[in-house]
């Protein structure tokens, strides 16, 4: 249930004692919070997209389409320059 995961993450971020407990005994802390196996896996992965998935939120890309195009162009240009040097 996403509510348990949400409550767990909020508690970790706002209560230093809870965070300390989690750092000492992650499994026990997640057991006490009633997290499911997939929620635990997402928490332990520290992967924002895995957490978003468990929370029912969409994947968020840090790059806009325009930035992706610019990055592709730069990569292509760098490859051409490298090929010319050979």
pLDDT, tens only, 12-67:
999 999 999 999 999 999 999 999 999 999 999 999 889 999 998 876 666 566 66
3-state helix, strand, coil in the chain (%, to 5): 80, 0, 20
Domain ranges of the chain: 2-74
pTM of the full structure: 0.65
* Whether the Cβ atoms of residue 85 and residue 33 lie closer than 8 Å to each other: no
The tokens describing 12, both together, are 């970790």
């Amino acid at each position: 249930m996403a509510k348990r995961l949400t409550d767990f993450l909020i508690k970790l971020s706002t209560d230093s004692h809870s965070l300390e407990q989690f750092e000492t005994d992650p499994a026990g802390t997640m057991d006490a919070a009633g997290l499911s196996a997939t929620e635990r896996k997402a928490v332990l992965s520290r992967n924002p997209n895995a957490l978003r998935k468990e929370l029912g939120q969409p994947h968020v890309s840090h790059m806009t389409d325009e930035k992706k195009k610019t990055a592709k162009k730069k990569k292509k240009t760098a490859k051409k320059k490298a090929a010319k040097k050979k």
